[in-house]
Amino acid sequence: MMRILLRLLSAIPTLFGVVLVTFLLTRVLPGDPAVFFAANPSMGADEIAALREALGFDKSLPEQFGIYLIDLAHGDLGRSVTTGLPVAEEIVRRLPASVELSVLAFVLAIGIAIPLGLAAALRPGSLIDHTARLISTLGVSVPTFVTGLLLIYVFYFRLGVSPEPIGRLDPFLFEPDRVTGLLTVDALLAGDFEIFRAALAQMLLPATTMAIFALAPLTRMTRASMLGAMGSEFIRTARASGLGRGKIIFTYAFRNALLPIITTMGMTFSYMLGANVLVERVFSWPGIGAMAMDSIMNLDYAPLQGFMLVMAGIFILVNLATDVAITLVDPRAAK
C-alpha cells in the first residue's frame, strides 16, 4: 500500500512536467491561431489583434501558463475554439471510443503473442520460431497507418468481408442508450445483439491494426524470457527430479518468465495509446486521438493540451497497475 501511495505522489511532478512541456510546445507551433480563426479573410490587423486578445494570446507566456494552471486547479481544461465545447466534455464523450478500441486490440495481441512466444521458445529454430521472429520484425517496421490501409484494401475493398471504415457504427443504426460510453457494453446492457455485432465488426480492423503493432514486443519478450527460464538451473533440477513437462513449463518456467512479460505489457499498452492517433484517423474513429489530430491541424491548443494530460494520467495508472501485477506475481518485487 505504501509503495502505491509513493508512486501516486511521485506522479505529481510528472504531471506538472507534462502540463508545462505541452503548454510550451503548443505555443511554438507555427501559425497564428487568431489569424486562423478569423471569420473573415479580409479582417484588418486591429480586428485580428482584438481576436487574439479575446483568445488570451496577447498575454505573456508566464501569464498564460498561470491562468491555465488556475483553470486546471478548478477542473477546467479550457474550451475548444473549433467546436466551442468544453474540452472536458469532449474528452468524456470521446475517451470511451479510444478505450474500447485499445482494450480489444490489447486482448487480441496478448491472446496471440503469449502462445506464439511460448511455442517459439519451446521449439527454437523451428518454423514457428521463424514465424514469431518475422511477425516481430514486421510489427515494429511497418507503420500502423500503412497496416491499417492494407487491411482496409484487402478485407473491405477486395474481399468485402469487413464493414466500411466510417467510425464506430453504421450510420443507419442507432446507438443504444449511453451508460458506459462503450458501444459493445452498452449494447449488451440494452439487450441489443444486432448493435453489439455491428459495433464489434466495426472495431475488428482498427483493433487488428493496433494488435499487430503490439504483437512485436510482446512476442519477442515472451520468447526471450521463456528461453532464459528454460535454460535456468532450477529447470534442469526439475527435469532431473522427474517432473512432468507441463508442470515444468507452466508452473516453474512461465511463472518466472512473467515479470518481464508483465512489464512489457504495461509499456506496450502505453505505446498503443499513442499509436491509436493515426489508427483513428485512418478508420475515422471518433476517439481522443482523432481529436488531438484535429486540434493540431486547426491550431486549437486547449484540446491538444487536454489530450496530453489525459494520456499522461493513463500512462501513470498503467504503470501503477503494472507494479501491482508484478507484486502479485512475485511479492519479493515489492521489497
Summarised one tens digit per residue, pLDDT across range 265-307 is: 988 888 787 778 889 989 999 998 888 888 888 778 888 888 8
pLDDT for position 35: 64
State the Cα–Cα distance between residues 226 and 93, nearest whole angstrom: 42
Q: Residue 177: helix, strand or coil by DSSP?
A: coil
pLDDT for position 115: 93
Least confident window among 15-19, 116-120, 259-263: 15-19
Question: Is domain 93-165+203-334 annotated with CATH 1.10.3720.10?
Answer: yes
pLDDT for position 109: 93
Helix (H) or strand (E) holding 334, with range, is none
How would you class 242 by CB atoms within 10 Å of its CB: exposed for 0-12, middle for 13-18, buried for 19 or more? exposed
pLDDT at 335 over 60: no
Least confident window among 155-159, 241-245, 286-290: 241-245
Determine what percent of the chain is predicted with pLDDT higher than 90: 28
Which cell numbers hold the place of 304? 491538444
Nearest to 95 by CA among 305, 269, 300, 292: 292
pLDDT for position 187: 94
Q: What is the mean pLDDT of residues 316-327?
A: 82
Helix (H) or strand (E) holding 182, with range, is none
Which cell numbers hold the place of 243? 517432473
Q: Residue 189: pLDDT band by 50, 70, 90 thresholds? A: very high
Distances (CA, A) of 89 to 63, 249, 271: 25, 49, 25
pLDDT for position 43: 64
Which cell numbers hold the place of 160? 468485402
pLDDT at 25 over 70: yes
In SS3 terms, 59-109 reads as CCHHHHHHHHHHHHHCCCCCECCCCCCEHHHHHHHHHHHHHHHHHHHHHHH
Q: What is the pLDDT of residues 107-118, one digit of tens each?
A: 999 999 999 999
pLDDT at 20 over 70: yes
Least confident window among 54-58, 151-155, 297-301: 54-58
pLDDT for position 41: 59
Q: Residue 31: pLDDT band by 50, 70, 90 thresholds? A: low
Which cell numbers hold the place of 301? 491548443
Q: What is the pTM of this model?
A: 0.84
Distances (CA, A) of 67 to 54, 72, 152: 14, 9, 45
Residue extents of the structural domains in the chain: 2-73, 93-165+203-334
Residue with the bigger pLDDT between 268 and 11: it is: 268
pLDDT for position 113: 92
pLDDT for position 194: 92
pLDDT for position 182: 92
Mean pLDDT of the chain: 84
Spell 78-97 as b/e; 16+ CB within 10 A means b: bbbbbbeebbbebbeebbbb
pLDDT at 193 over 60: yes
How would you class 168 by CB atoms within 10 Å of its CB: exposed for 0-12, middle for 13-18, buried for 19 or more? buried
pLDDT for position 120: 92
Distances (CA, A) of 124 to 114, 129, 133, 212, 333: 15, 6, 11, 22, 30
pLDDT at 151 over 90: yes
Please enumerate in sequence order all residues whose Cβ is within 8 A of that of 75, keeping only pairs 6 or more positions apart, or say none: 88
Residue with the bigger pLDDT between 47 and 115: it is: 115
In SS3 terms, 278-328 reads as HHHHHCCCCCHHHHHHHHHHCCCHHHHHHHHHHHHHHHHHHHHHHHHHHHH
pLDDT for position 116: 92
Please enumerate in sequence order all residues whose Cβ is within 8 A of that of 259, keeping only pairs 6 or more positions apart, or say none: 326, 329, 330, 333
Q: Residue 82: pLDDT band by 50, 70, 90 thresholds? A: confident
Give the count of beta carbons closer than 10 Å to the beta carbon of residue 230: 20
State the Cα–Cα distance between residues 215 and 135, nearest whole angstrom: 7
pLDDT for position 203: 94
